[in-house]
């Protein structure tokens, strides 16, 4: 009886560096095959192990700036002299096909999207503790002590933005965290505001009319409300 909107959900997943956003996203795609992960665009140079249109859409700085001027970006930011952002067209195409699109982006970009598309689904991912976050960053063996402290300062600032999100998930077990994210997506699709229309087929209409008629026939008449005859 209920026809839901074909349009897919736009899911924005954010959290401090090292909390496991990419791991959760990959685990989600394994259990929910309707999820499509958005590919970001960047103006930085491609690295030897990267593939264009798989890791990023690699474009020139001039081409990226033109996209900004033409309002073709959902969100963007500049880091170390390079642009990073989410192109609108590819995301909209997937949403129109009924795919649920997930964006794994930084909080700065997420808040830009919230200004434009407040109806999107915003999920914040947290580590079990700051000590565990430190352990995960140390395991990468890519951070100096100074860089590690800088990331912690950023992480504390980012956690203060949590109230601007719709949901929070603690990533103490990435399998469980991915299932929670999948459950959130399922729940969102059951929202009343995602119903396009409620319809009745011919047989259901007949049953409805029969029940209405029986109800009228069995309704007692209140003689106190009858207009007296003159």
pLDDT in tens, the chain (230 residues): 666 678 899 999 999 888 999 999 999 999 999 999 999 999 999 999 999 999 999 999 999 999 999 999 999 998 878 999 999 999 999 999 999 999 999 898 999 999 999 999 999 999 988 888 778 777 766 667 777 777 778 888 888 999 999 999 999 999 999 999 999 999 998 888 877 666 656 665 566 566 666 665 565 545 345 445 44
pLDDT at 139: 74
For residue 146, give the CATH number of its domain.
3.40.50.300
pLDDT at 143: 64
pLDDT at 29: 97
SS3 percent helix, strand, coil of the chain, rounded to 5, is 45, 20, 35
Task: List the structure tokens of 127.
Answer: 């580590």
Q: Is residue 171 part of a domain?
A: yes
Q: Alpha helix (H) ranges present in the chain?
A: 21-31, 61-69, 88-96, 107-116, 130-140, 145-159, 174-189, 202-217
pLDDT at 199: 61
Question: Which residue, among 140, 104, 105, 127, has the nearest Cα to 173 in the 3D structure?
Answer: 127
pLDDT at 154: 81
pLDDT at 197: 61
pLDDT at 207: 65
Residue-range definition of the domain harbouring residue 128: 2-38+99-195
Q: Is residue 22 part of a domain?
A: yes
Q: What CA–CA distance (Å, rounded) separates 168 from 156?
A: 15
pLDDT at 217: 59
Q: What CA–CA distance (Å, rounded) separates 154 from 164?
A: 17
Q: What CA–CA distance (Å, rounded) separates 54 from 64?
A: 17
Q: Is residue 63 part of a domain?
A: no
Q: Are 89 and 135 in contact (CB under 8 A)?
A: no
Q: Is residue 89 part of a domain?
A: no
Q: Is residue 127 part of a domain?
A: yes
Q: Is residue 151 part of a domain?
A: yes
Q: Is residue 57 part of a domain?
A: no
Total tally of structural domains belonging to the chain? 1
Q: What CA–CA distance (Å, rounded) separates 212 from 32?
A: 43
Q: Is residue 59 part of a domain?
A: no
Q: Are 122 and 110 in contact (CB under 8 A)?
A: yes
């Amino acid at each position: 009886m209920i026809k839901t909107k074909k349009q897919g959900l736009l899911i924005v997943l954010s959290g401090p560096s090292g909390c496991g956003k990419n791991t959760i996203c990959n685990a989600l795609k394994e259990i929910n095959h309707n999820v499509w992960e958005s590919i970001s665009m960047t103006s930085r140079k491609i690295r030897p192990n990267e593939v264009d249109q798989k890791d990023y859409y690699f474009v020139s700085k001039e081409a990226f700036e033109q996209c900004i001027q033409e309002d073709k970006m959902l969100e963007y930011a500049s880091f170390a002299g390079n642009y990073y952002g989410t192109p609108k067209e590819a995301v909209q195409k997937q949403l129109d096909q009924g795919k649920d699109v997930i964006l794994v982006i930084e909080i700065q970009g997420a808040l830009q999207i919230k200004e434009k598309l407040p109806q999107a689904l915003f999920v914040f991912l947290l580590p079990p503790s700051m000590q565990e976050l430190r352990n995960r960053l140390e395991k990468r063996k890519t951070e100096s002590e100074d860089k590690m402290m800088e990331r912690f300062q950023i992480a504390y600032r980012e956690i203060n933005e949590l109230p601007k999100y719709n949901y929070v998930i603690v990533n103490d077990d990435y399998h469980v965290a991915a299932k929670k994210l999948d459950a959130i997506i399922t729940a969102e699709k059951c929202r009343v505001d995602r119903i396009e229309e409620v319809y009745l087929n011919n047989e259901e209409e007949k049953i409805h009319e029969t029940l209405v008629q029986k109800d009228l026939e069995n309704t007692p008449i209140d003689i106190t409300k009858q207009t007296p005859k003159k």
